[in-house]
């Protein structure tokens, strides 16, 4: 049996579609565990309706918010299947996803499988699927950790053997980014990952998702993760594994005080906000980018991009 885990927080507009995408899987031997992390909308109520439709579903609600990492760890502890898969509550899985991944487990004798995906973007008041991802030309085996995986971690399906060896997500990342990369890096040290270059998952580029909720420390997480990756590749250990949290905080502060670095990160978040149609946030981040480092030429280019897209939106609406 496969335990499909769905952490949820304030995804009322999307969670029904996410659940339906699992219930229509051609692979049927699964349980779907949904954990609502004290949502302030009616996410839980929508999920609970499905309890009457399918006995394979279990729905949990936390009285207090655990954070994304805490909620995912809770679900891992509830899982009873021999295999485990993730399903974000604002994304979808295509009908063959779990079957194809389970077939790969058997065919290639591996313990972890990931897949390619489509991105679903909000364009002119509609959610549009568009394939704009960087993909490989064929399926292949990833034998050891790499700094840039060709898949998104929500597509992972893995055996209980992997969970027993790798454990839960590190709480350091709660409220930040990168818990999935760090976990996958550690798991990939022991277990090869088979990557299927087939689109079996739909990732919604939702600016209000947990991943895209702003936090200044999120801006520096890519660099922190690269540091941990470099440490682990060279010594098979890192600051987190050693419990050297003070060293991490010192490194974080160095990055947060690097005005050029922060300017570029603000600019990137501004561009993301423009792509999502959130022009208010885009403007705020762009101003922060100019304040942090006025000489960042890329910020000027992003500013022109912001004005061009905003003007286009204005012309469409008149």
- What is the structure's pLDDT at 213? 64
Higher pLDDT, 268 or 134: 268
Asked if residue 318 has pLDDT above 50, the reply is no
Alpha-carbon gap, residue 284 to 277, rounded angstroms: 13
- What is the structure's pLDDT at 210? 56
Question: What is the tens place of the pLDDT at every residue in 26-54?
Answer: 999 999 999 999 999 999 999 999 998 99
Mean pLDDT on 18-25 = 98
Handedness of CA 228, 172, 149, 271 (dihedral sign): negative
Is CATH 3.30.70 correct for 216-317? no
Mean pLDDT on 289-293 = 94
φ, ψ (nearest 5 deg) of residue 73: -65, -35
Rounded mean pLDDT of the chain?
91
φ, ψ (nearest 5 deg) of residue 144: -150, 165
Higher pLDDT, 102 or 118: 102
Range with the poorest average pLDDT among 53-62, 212-221, 302-311: 212-221
Question: What is the tens place of the pLDDT at every residue in 180-195?
Answer: 999 999 999 999 999 9
- Tell the CATH topology of 2-204: Spore Coat Polysaccharide Biosynthesis Protein SpsA; Chain A (3.90.550)
Asked if residue 263 has pLDDT above 80, the reply is yes
Asked if residue 290 has pLDDT above 60, the reply is yes
For the record, the structure tokens of 210 come out as 């947990």
- What is the structure's pLDDT at 33? 98
Residue ranges, comma separated, of all CATH 3.90.550.10 domains in the chain are 2-204
Residue ranges, comma separated, of all CATH 1.25.40 domains in the chain are 216-317
Asked if residue 212 has pLDDT above 80, the reply is no
Asked if residue 132 has pLDDT above 80, the reply is no
Higher pLDDT, 133 or 82: 82
Residue 152: CB atoms within 10 Å: 20
Helix (H) or strand (E) holding 34: strand 30-36
- What is the structure's pLDDT at 255? 95
Using only the alpha carbons of the chain, give its radius of gyration: 20
pTM listed for this prediction: 0.88
């Amino acid at each position: 049996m496969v335990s499909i885990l769905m952490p949820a927080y304030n995804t009322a507009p999307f969670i029904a579609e996410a659940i339906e995408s699992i219930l229509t899987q051609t692979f049927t031997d699964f349980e779907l565990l949904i954990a609502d992390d004290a949502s302030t909308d009616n996410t839980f109520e929508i999920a609970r309706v499905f309890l009457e439709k399918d006995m394979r579903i279990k729905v949990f609600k936390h009285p207090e918010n655990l954070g994304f990492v805490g909620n995912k760890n809770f679900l891992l502890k509830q899982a009873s299947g021999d295999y485990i898969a993730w399903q974000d509550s604002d994304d979808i899985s295509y009908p063959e996803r779990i079957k194809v991944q389970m077939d790969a487990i058997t065919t290639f004798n591996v313990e972890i499988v990931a897949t390619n995906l489509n991105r679903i973007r909000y364009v002119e008041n509609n959610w549009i699927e568009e394939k704009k991802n960087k993909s490989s030309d064929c399926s292949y085996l990833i034998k050891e950790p790499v700094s840039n995986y060709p898949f998104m971690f929500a597509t992972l399906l893995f055996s209980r053997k992997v969970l027993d060896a790798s454990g839960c997500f590190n709480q350091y990342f709660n409220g930040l980014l990168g818990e999935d990369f760090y976990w996958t890096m550690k798991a990939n040290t022991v277990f090869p990952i088979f990557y299927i270059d087939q689109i079996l998952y739909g990732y919604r580029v939702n600016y209000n998702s947990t991943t895209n909720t702003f936090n200044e420390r999120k801006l520096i997480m890519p660099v922190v993760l690269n540091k941990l990756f470099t440490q682990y590749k060279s010594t098979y250990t890192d600051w987190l594994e050693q419990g050297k949290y003070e060293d991490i905080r010192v490194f974080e502060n160095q990055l947060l005080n690097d005005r050029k670095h922060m300017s570029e990160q603000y600019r990137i978040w501004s561009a993301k906000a423009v792509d999502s149609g959130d022009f208010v946030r885009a403007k705020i981040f762009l101003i922060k980018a100019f304040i942090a480092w006025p000489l960042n030429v890329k910020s000027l280019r992003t500013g022109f991009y912001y004005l061009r897209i905003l003007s286009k939106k204005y012309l469409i609406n008149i």
